Amino acid sequence: MENYPSILNDVMGPIMRGPSSSHCAASLRIGRLCRALMDNEITDILIEFDPNGSLATTHKSQGSDMGLFGGFLGWEAYDEQLKFAEDAIKGAGIEVEIDIVDIGFSHPNTYKITLTNTKETRQLIALSTGGGMIEVIEIDGAKVSMAGDYYETLIYCTSGDEMKNIIDAEMEYDTLQLHQGNDLFVEIKSQQPLDDLLYDKLLNQKGILFIKQLSPVLPIMSRKNLKVPFITCDEMLQYNQGKNLPLWELALHFESTRGNISQKQVWGKMKEIANIMESSVQAGLKGTEYDDRILGCQSVGFKEKMESNQLLSGDLSNRIIMFVTAMMEVKSSMGVIVAAPTAGSCGVVPGAIIGTAATLGLSEGDVIKALLTAGIIGVFIAAHATFAAEVGGCQAECGSGSGMSAAALVQMAGGTLEQSIGASSIALQNCLGMICDPVANRVEAPCLGKNVLGATNALSCANMALANYNHLIPLDEVIYTMDQVGQSIPNTLRCTSLGGLSVTKTSKEIEVRLNQRAFKSC
């Protein structure tokens, strides 16, 4: 099956709160689908994680529990109540049990969830695939594939063929499949939910047991026979022959086609993202407070040192460091951020792009073009590698952000399309093999340093490309290599907190003190 990521689904988003998009935003989306599967009525939940996966050691500290609980309650990923989700789920009278058991996982971010209410019990298995993206792979013992980008109608029945005849006559849909697991059900993927008349007609048919309606959890929907103008860098260059479009315009062409929306709409949505990023940076620079974190407010002190000329010279580089830090502090204090491409790497792209725009006095339009440029590079990575540190190490998160940002900075400096691609290639080459080993099982350190590294690497590589340094290896080949390297990184060094800095004596001591609420923010 072809993988056609969306800039607005997979790369620049979601808009969220919490330390990790793979944990918080993805689990919340899974939780919302669970809630819909149970007609918004849940009394008991069993959540199972495999001991060999990432979630067994990180589900609480990195926000999977918080996200799931928020999703079960029907909240959004940016809801300000999220930090109180555990208390809220108890207040709702929902009993939750979390077990670490062998579920035969094939992906490090596998969720096995059993849901009960007074009428029924259902089971769902889902994956967090990186950057807040998900795939439901099994419902009630039947293999499915749901990414949350369709209206999904599940009709539990005794005769699937009869249901298909009624549906064919009454509604337009993209796909219809009959699934036999523990129960028989028809799955319909469509652009619109069932209308009330058809819902009532189906519900009154003999042999209908339940009708479940699962709304999309992604902003950009998929559709039948979806096509895109290109899905690799090489295909993009072929597409651009005779057009001579800059990367940001090629990104508009891609996303407009992928999402079946106008280029004006794509631009408008990216403008919203740019505004949220700018607001997050400014919020961070004012100072943030949060008890449950390792690092306090450091961007404020950095700003004071920079403005009083107490730092080594390098105005652009220093501003980028300050903006990256501010964004990471907002994330760690449960403020609203954009996962671009992930929450763990959320400082790289805005830090590099907004920091450069502020230093050079560039316009909002220049920032939007830069984000589009970064977005199309991210599409190639999402399609042929991964954004999940649990799958590919931190090269998949901060490394991806660095490659995306390098191309964007060349765009901002007036460089050519070829120079942007070259900068991206060099930046990704520099990040190959970067591990993910969060201290004290929190997405703060060395994550902050790796975000700064990613952003400043992007700046260096942009200047190298603008000076026509030879990147040697084509971008598509670097992305392929990145995927292969990620698969070679040991499980202990892929966001499991089982290796690297995560298992140092000091890291373990910090984790104990955090659990005792000994740390206080500034």
Q: What is the number of residues in the chain?
A: 522
Averaged pLDDT, 61-89: 96
Q: What is the pLDDT of residues 353-405, one digit of tens each?
A: 999 999 999 999 999 999 999 999 999 999 999 999 999 999 999 999 999 99
Name the architecture of domain 150-215: 2-Layer Sandwich (3.30)
Q: What percent of the chain has pLDDT over 70?
A: 98
- Long-range contacts made by residues 310-317, C-beta under 8 angstroms, separation at least 24? 315/359, 316/355, 316/356, 316/359, 316/360, 316/459, 317/456, 317/459
The pLDDT assigned to 519 comes to 44
Q: Which helix or strand (DSSP H or E) is residue 121 part of?
A: strand 121-130
What are the backbone dihedrals phi and psi of residue 114, each rounded to the nearest 5 degrees, phi first?
-110, 125
Residue 256: burial class (beta carbons within 10 Å; 0-12, 13-18, 19+): middle
The pLDDT assigned to 517 comes to 66
pLDDT above 70: residue 521: no
Averaged pLDDT, 176-195: 94
Q: Which helix or strand (DSSP H or E) is residue 284 part of?
A: helix 263-285
Domain ranges for the chain = 150-215
Locate the DSSP E strands across 225-366: 337-338
Sign of the CA dihedral running 74, 190, 22, 138: positive
% helix / strand / coil in the chain, to the nearest 5? 50, 15, 35
The pLDDT assigned to 522 comes to 41
> pTM value?
0.95
Averaged pLDDT, 91-116: 95
What stretches of 313-446 show up as alpha helix (H) in DSSP?
315-332, 348-360, 364-384, 389-392, 398-412, 417-431
Residue 193: DSSP 8-state? P
Averaged pLDDT, 153-163: 87
Average model confidence (pLDDT) across the chain = 95
Q: What is the pLDDT of residues 109-144, one digit of tens each?
A: 999 999 999 999 999 999 999 999 999 999 999 999
Q: What is the pLDDT of residues 425-457, one digit of tens each?
A: 999 999 999 999 999 989 999 999 999 999 999
